[in-house]
Amino acid sequence: MRFDNLLDSVGGTPLVGLPRLSPSPDVRVWAKLEDRNPTGSIKDRAALKMVEQAEKDGLLRPGCTILEPTSGNTGISLAMAAKLKGYRIVCVMPENTSVERKQLLGMWGAEIVSSPAAGGSNEAVRVAKRLAEEHPDWVMLYQYGNPANALAHYEGTAPEIHADLPSITHFVAGLGTTGTLMGVSRYFREHKPDVRIVAAEPRYGELVYGLRNLDEGFVPELYDASLIDSRFSVGPRDAVRRVRELLELEGLFAGISTGAILHAALGQAAKAVKAGERADIAFVVCDGGWKYLSTGAYEGTVDEAEDRLEGQLWA
Amino acid sequence: MAIEVRIPTILRTYTDGAKSVTGSGATLAELIDDLEANHPGIKDRLIDGEDLRRFVNVYVNDEDVRFTGGLGTSLGDGDQVVVLPAVAGG
């Protein structure tokens, strides 16, 4: 496949069957390999779409500074696009993210502002909003509320899966900004409304939920609960267990959040088997495991890995 | 009927610091009433009018109750209930 430049190659990722993890020939699980994007994560889709839309709207002009709260992948994707398009970029990132994410952001030329570990991404959002007020000329693309984030999946991810797997019955993805689920769900609600949309939400250690009060909670502006059919909370233990199974049984080396998504996907598979129904379950491999080697998730026992992930933003 | 309820840090002022408490009820609404009887004040932090508060997520055996019948979600012996504040991902 040939492209004129790297940005043109975003999307068009493979969908691969997982015959060993699928419970039966009638209930099959399929992995959408989003780690095959230019910077190695699904966020390339949203980042590129948000930048293009902001350019179209006249918000982003040559020499502009982009600002974004991110736990890593969106920042890395934006930094790559910013480098190629000549923008400066400042990322606000919680300090309890893996060291590889910071290294990669730096490599692509992003400036990093650290936000406190307690409160996780909520704090990154808060700090970014404050910076945006202090620097009115900076352009915050704001992945949590930018419709272009969901649009990237409505126009890209969803039709790609539909074309490759017309018999799809379930779509399972991670719930962070909610962009992937919102965009893909909108597409299937229009084109194949019987597809069940399942969200897997990472459950972190207590530190991340250590808000000062409940009213500081956060629901992304993009989120529309009516576009989701079920939502599961998956802790680090199940995520690590599944991500290791994926490697062991199918040879796929994925990031920890993908383990959480696979866990929810296999839950749906088990349900279909029990109900005696056929199912084709597509789930998202958000990124590869490379960025998480330092977390210790892939070494030692599952107990040890679970302990090491305590307090980290692993998804 | 014993149901384990995991309490987030921010609500432990109502449970004398306990990370997890035991309650009973055939539905989530009944469970929350039962919690209120033993931990006065907690109900108001979870519920606003007839519904869960916007930034409160409740999971029964890891599934978000907003997709399983909300406060009417039925509960059984041995179920695990987790209460968490809504936080950002991404």
| pLDDT, tens only, A90-135 | 999 999 888 999 999 999 999 999 999 888 899 999 999 999 999 9
Active-site annotation holds for A257: yes
Superfamily of domain B3-85: Beta-grasp domain (3.10.20.30)
Residues of chain A above pLDDT 90, percent:
89
Q: Which domains does chain A have, with CATH numbers?
A: 7-36+156-309 (3.40.50.1100), 43-140 (3.40.50.1100)
Residue A70 in contact with residue A91, Cβ under 8 Å? yes
| pLDDT, tens only, A128-180 | 999 999 999 999 999 999 999 999 999 999 999 999 999 999 999 999 999 99
Look at residue B23 in the predicted model and tell me its pLDDT: 96
| pLDDT, tens only, A14-73 | 999 999 999 999 999 999 999 999 999 999 999 999 999 999 999 999 999 999 999 889
Mean per-residue pLDDT over chain A, rounded: 95
Tell me the chain A residues in contact with residue B86 when contact means C-beta distances shorter than 8 Å: 217-219
Query: Do the chains contact at A231 and B63, CB–CB below 8 Å?
Result: yes
Query: Do the chains contact at B67 and A228, CB–CB below 8 Å?
Result: yes
**B3 phi and psi angles, rounded to 5 deg:** -120, 125
Average pLDDT over residues A238-262: 98
pLDDT band at residue B90 under the 50/70/90 scheme = low
Nearest Cα residue to A285 out of A7, A1, A16:
A16
Task: Give the 3-state secondary structure of residue B75.
Answer: coil
Among the partner-chain residues A174, A217, A231, the one whose CB lies closest to the CB of B55 is: A217
Give the pTM: 0.96
Close Cβ partners of A12 (under 8 Å, ≥ 6 residues apart) = A1, A160
Q: A72 — contact with chain B (CB < 8 Å)?
A: no
- Indicate the pairing of strand A279-285 with strand A170-174: parallel
Query: Do the chains contact at B85 and A177, CB–CB below 8 Å?
Result: no
Tell me the chain A residues in contact with residue B90 when contact means C-beta distances shorter than 8 Å: 70-71, 74, 121, 143-144, 176-177, 179, 220
Tell me the chain A residues in contact with residue B42 when contact means C-beta distances shorter than 8 Å: none
Q: Minimal Cα distance from B44: which residue of A?
A: A214
